[in-house]
Structure 1
Amino acid sequence: MTIVAVDGTAEHRLHALGLTTDQITRTLLRADAEAKHTTGLEPPTAEGTTRYFKTVGFLREELVPLGWGINDYKNFCRTVDPNHEFSIVTSSGDEVTGVDIPGRAPRTKYPKGELTALAVRQNAEQGTFDLGKQFAERTAGATVEPAELENVWVLLQRVTPDFIHAELSLPVCIEDGIITDWEERILLPRTSRHDPEPTGTPMIEEPPASDGDAYSVDVAMR
């Protein structure tokens, strides 16, 4: 049974994770402002990949000054909480992203890679899932350990012409590379894409090739 937090409960859960709605909203709006600068003359995935790259970067601008860490092993780009108890990755989601529809759960739009699948299984098993000798050999001497793949949350977003719908959720099921179920979903307020561009913050998914949303855009600056 998925736990769904909304409104005040969602804000409380974010605070428990050391996060705020403002941090995430600012991140999403800044990434959206960058994605809007694509013109349609770039490769078809340009808007989606720009949004992905900038969401990761701007989230880190918010959190790294607060003691959060970075782990980009094998392009599985995690932002790690100061106590190394959980981490955050980001992805695009389907039409259920950011809304509570009884009997339905959001899915990631595109298949994920090996480390995402392992992380989701670790979430489901809460550390008891045996990743096997092959994984241990591949990660020997690397900057990620199997236990670090526990409690990987996904900042999931869906973009429409007028709004960004988003949630921070803990995945527990993945099928053919698509995340299909969640232990907990923290729904964020719907954000207007027509708000003024946010100001910057102090500086300090794996992106699968297919994980850039191929939005249809006119050949014009927007």
Structure 2
Amino acid sequence: MVQPPTYEGPRAARRLAELGLSVEMLETVFERAEADVRMCTKHDPPTMPGFTRWARIVRFLREELESDGWTYDNPANQPRTIHPRKLLAIVVKSGDEVTGFDMPGLWPANRNPIGEATRRAVDDNGQFALFTAEDLPGLSKTPMWVLLYQIIDGVVQAELSLPDKIEGDRIGHWLERIILPAIDLGPDHIGRVGPSRDDGGDTDAYTVEVERKEG
């Protein structure tokens, strides 16, 4: 399996800058989100910490980028954060155990199943790899990137990556991956609790248990 271009360290920082983003800003987003997650208690529903983390990452990403001219929308209940010149739109999803690591022969994937809105956007990304929006006017003019994250022992492993293929209910192939430095949330972080989906998602998506498939 041919690995997509994968950026880490200084190369990742430079690639993010080309997209109007920075490592420091994304670290701030995750840290602000975790501060709100810590407000959850044992009296909340078991899925509250995970859902709160996802929702606050979406919110704080928008807040951090608003002053730079980024906008947002929510088609089919899929929250997108959109570059001022529509170079990209970012959606946030929780990822599997490969997320945030460059592991030859393995691809990261979203942990929860996708819905039709994500499927259409990823299909459009795949067409962008072959054509342009001018060649195929039906394509979305804004490629969708995914801010994919997982929490391991209080550490965020995350990446901003460009998908182009769906396998079943999961993203199965990536055109490009930008891996972020690990972010230590400290000893009092709240991990994932409960089996239900914790990343919002499209209105027609549903929750199933899936096994990681090696490429």
TM over 0.5, shorter chain: yes
The match for 2:11 among 9, 14, 19 is 9
Letter in 2 for 1:20: S
**Residue range with higher mean Cα deviation, 149-158 or 4-13:** 149-158
The match for 1:87 among 84, 89, 93 is 89
How many pairs does the alignment contain? 190
Letter in 1 for 2:186: H
The match for 2:125 among 123, 126, 141 is 123
Instruction: Report which of the two has the higher share of helix.
Output: 1
Matched, 1:158 2:150: yes
Cα deviations across residues 29-85 of structure 1 (Å, max 9, x unaligned)?
Answer: 111121122223222221111011100000001111110011112211110000012
The match for 2:25 among 3, 23, 26 is 23
- Distance change in 2, residues 1:152/1:122 (3 Å): same
What TM-score do you get using the length of structure 1 for normalisation?
0.78
Matched, 1:185 2:177: yes
The match for 1:111 among 109, 113, 116 is 113
Matched, 1:207 2:201: yes
- The structural deviation recorded for 1:148 is 3.2
Letter in 2 for 1:165: Q
Is the CA contact (8 Å cut-off) linking 1:122 and 1:128 kept in structure 2?
Answer: no
> In the alignment, what sits opposite 2:210?
none
Secondary structure of residue in 1 paired with 2:16? helix
Question: Which structure ranks higher in relative contact order (CA pairs < 8 Å, sequence separation ≥ 6)?
Answer: 1
Letter in 1 for 2:201: P
> In the alignment, what sits opposite 2:74?
72
What TM-score do you get using the length of structure 2 for normalisation?
0.81
Secondary structure of residue in 1 paired with 2:153? coil
Letter in 1 for 2:161: S
Give the alignment's Cα RMSD to 1 decimal.
2.5
CA distance in 2, matches of 1:119, 1:183: 14
CA distance in 2, matches of 1:195, 1:40: 17
Question: Percent identity at matched positions?
Answer: 36
- The structural deviation recorded for 1:112 is 1.0
Is the CA contact (8 Å cut-off) linking 2:118 and 2:202 kept in structure 1?
Answer: no
Cα deviations across residues 169-207 of structure 1 (Å, max 9, x unaligned)?
Answer: 00111122211221100000000011999xxxxxxx763
Letter in 1 for 2:179: L
- Distance change in 2, residues 1:183/1:53 (3 Å): same
Unaligned runs of 5+ in 1: 130-144, 198-204, 213-222
